Homo-oligomer: A and B are copies of this chain.
Amino acid sequence: MITAGKRRRTRNPRGEGERLRAELLDVAARHLAESGDVEQLSLRGIAAEVGVAAPSIYNHFPNKSALLKAVVDREFEAFDEYVRARAARGKDPFDRLRRGGLGYLAFAGERPGAYTILFGTRRNESMPPLDVQWHEVDDPGLAAFGTLVSLIQDCLDTSPVGRQHDAFLIAVEGWTLLHGLADLKATLPSFPWPSSKRLVDAWAERFQDSLRTT
């Protein structure tokens, strides 16, 4: 349901028609982030909120699926970029891993609807499939997982016993923890959750301990 009425809007100057495309994506992304539900988006609603007639959308997207795909792809890129940027602030591999994990949870916490669209279970046929082997990734969603694997690999590389561990397996464990917390928090916001920092630190510390030479 879209409550906003029509906005007054001056048409784009000649040659700047592409600006409507960006406006449509912005509004669609905002609605997705609020509702967390791809099904609830309607072209008419988006058009009304942008302040344009519904058929104008077809100047920029062949159909609804194409618009949906475009906005989801953009969201995936934003997510991966956000996590990378947070991780990059760390001063050593373990710190980067911790910060990456916290970044993951921060994105999910600040934009639960957006997170849900990316990693929530509800996906439909107009969305990228995500059901590929992780190493054959060309799905932008799994790029974020690739980021996690390489953060962990960097940690392993600091230790002489690092080669005894499998970065992939540890990444799966970490991802499961992050996703479980992120998703449950979005579902049950008023549950008395422990702090993200506490959980991530505990996990990272245990991981670091396991790499000390015995």
Contact = CB atoms under 8 A, between A and B. Distances in A.
Interface in A111-132: 112, 116, 119-124, 130-132
A24 interface: no
A129 to B, nearest CB: 9
Specify how many copies of this chain sit in the oligomer.
2
A78 B191 CA distance: 23
A131 B180 contact: no
Interface stretch (A49-57, A65-73, A168-176): A168-176
A164 B118 CA distance: 39
Interface string A76-104: 00000000000000000000000000000
A151 to B, nearest CB: 18
Nearest to A113: B121
A17 interface: no
Given A120-B120, A122-B37, A172-B194, A177 B179 contact: no
Given A180-B175, A183-B180, A36 B121 contact: yes
